[in-house]
Amino acid sequence: MAEVNNSSVIQLLADRFGAKVSGVNEPYGLLTVETTKDVIIVVLTYLKETEGAKFSFLTDITAVHYPDTKHIAVVYHLHNMVNKIRIRVKVFIHEQTPSIPTATVLWNGANWMERETYDFFGVKFEGHPDLRRILNMDELNVHPMLKQYPLEDPNRVDKKDEYFGR
C-alpha cells in the first residue's frame, strides 16, 4: 500500500482539481483545504473513493459564521482510518444565500449532522431527504448560532459581560 500522507493528498488534489481546491494549510498537522460549493460533492466523492486518499469515514459536519466577511464556512472532517490521517474541507458560502449540496448522497451519517447545521446556522443542504430542525423547537424563527444573536437578553442591564470577565 502506497504511503498516504498530507503531501501526497495535497498533490493528488492539485492534480485533479487544480485551482478549485485552494487554501491548503496544516494547522497542528491536520490537512485543511478550501473548495467551492459547486464542486464540493465531487471533491468529497474523490476524497472518499480514490486510491491514495480513501477518506471513507465522515467524522463531522459543522459550520462557522464569519459576519465580518459575510460568510458561513461549512466544515467537513473526513478520516482515513487505515492510514490514520484526517482532512478538513471547508466551503465558504455567502450568509445571505446559505445553500450547499447535501453529502447524504455519500454518507447516511451526514443526515443528522446536516440537520444540526441547518438548525443552528440556516445552511440549506440541497437534496437533503429530511431537512428539519433537530435540537431546537420547530417554532423557532432564527438560527441561533449565527453571530448576530446574542447569548443573553440584550436589554438586561445586570448581566453585562464586563462584570463577568468576558
Partner 1 sequence: MNHNQPVYTDNDPQNELVTLNLGPTHPATHGVFQNVLQLDGERIVSGVSTIGYIHRAFEKIAEHRPFYQITPLTDRLNYCSSPINNMGWHMTVEKLLNIKVPKRVDYLRIIVMELARISDHIICNTIIAQDTGATTTFLYLFQFREHIYEIYEEICGARLTTNIGRIGGFERDFNDIAFAKINKFLKEFPVALREFESLLNRNRIFIDRTAGVACVTPEQALDYSWSGPLLRATGVDYDVRVSEPYCSYDEFDFEVPVGTSGDIYDRYLVRNEEMWQSVSLIEQALEKLKHEPAGIFHADVPDFYLPAKEEVYNNMEALIYHFKIVMGEIDAPKAEVYHAVEGGNGELGFYLINDGGRTPYRLHFRRPSFINYSMYAKMSEGMLLSDAIINMSSMNIIAGELDA
Residues that bind partner 1 (CB under 8 A): 27-28, 30, 32, 56-60, 62, 64-65, 75, 77, 81, 84, 86, 88, 107-113, 116, 120, 133-137, 144-145, 151, 161, 165-166
Measure the CA–CA gap between 96 and 124, rounded to whole angstroms.
Answer: 11
Least spacing, CB of residue 61 vs partner 1, in Å: 9
Least spacing, CB of residue 84 vs partner 1, in Å: 5
Closer to partner 1 by CB, 20 or 90: give it.
90
How open is the CA angle 144-122-26, to the nearest 5 degrees? Answer: 90
Residues 6+ apart with CB under 8 A from 99: 37, 93, 123, 124, 125, 126
Closer to partner 1 by CB, 52 or 109: give it.
109
- Residue 40, exposed/middle/buried by CB under 10 A (0-12, 13-18, 19+)? buried
Measure the CA–CA gap between 26 and 87, rounded to whole angstroms.
Answer: 9
Least spacing, CB of residue 124 vs partner 1, in Å: 19
Closer to partner 1 by CB, 15 or 162: give it.
162
Number of neighbouring beta carbons within 10 Å of residue 68: 7
Least spacing, CB of residue 93 vs partner 1, in Å: 16
Closer to partner 1 by CB, 21 or 113: give it.
113
